[in-house]
Structure 1
Amino acid sequence: MGRRLVINDLRVQSISHHDGHRSFTIVWPEGTVHEPADRFLRRHERSGTQRTYAYLLVDHLRWLEREALALEAVSLRDLATTWPRWVRSGAAPTGSPGEPTDPPSTLTR
């Protein structure tokens, strides 16, 4: 799976640290950190799952943007009814059926 440049959309950003480890956050199109997402991802620093969480979270945040929903406006009940429909339809959260996303290679969908 090849990498692709993401322009004008939320994206996952890899951060290389001086001690050699990498962490991941989500940034807005202009490059500023998405603070609520970063707070969540920092709790999983060095966990081995932070990258996967970042890619799943960026899909969710893109969906919120596309649907013009505030992060605080969506409840777990909303997600519990919406996500199963996506799974059944084969639709990616960021697009329509048949429009693939680029999950990290460590993520099995």
Structure 2
Amino acid sequence: MRPTLTLIAASTLLLATACTTTPLPPQTIGQCNAEPASWAIGRAPDQNLIDDVLRDTGSRDVRVLEPGMAATMDYRADRVNIDVNDRGAITGIRCG
């Protein structure tokens, strides 16, 4: 009679775990990936280029950072930063 009780308990446990759901991974919509926009380095950041960088990186927000410009230090996964030198050419594209 003992093996039957063990079998019932194991079956009940198996059914209980089969009914639970696992959480879905967080969505990455709007999360920045700077690599696809590396083509823009060396160019001037006009509005069309900025729009293309925003699209290519998958970001929701963009900011163009010039030398000496004040900027917050908070990291945002949905923002792309376009670093520009004093001649107006893009020197880097990075997330944050």
Range into which the TM-score falls when normalised by the shorter chain: under 0.3
* TM-score, normalised by the number of residues in structure 2: 0.22
**Higher strand proportion (structure 1 or 2):** 2
Instruction: Determine which structure has more spread, i.e. the larger CA radius of gyration.
Output: 2
* TM-score, normalised by the number of residues in structure 1: 0.20
Q: Which has the higher contact order (CA 8 A, sep 6+)?
A: 2
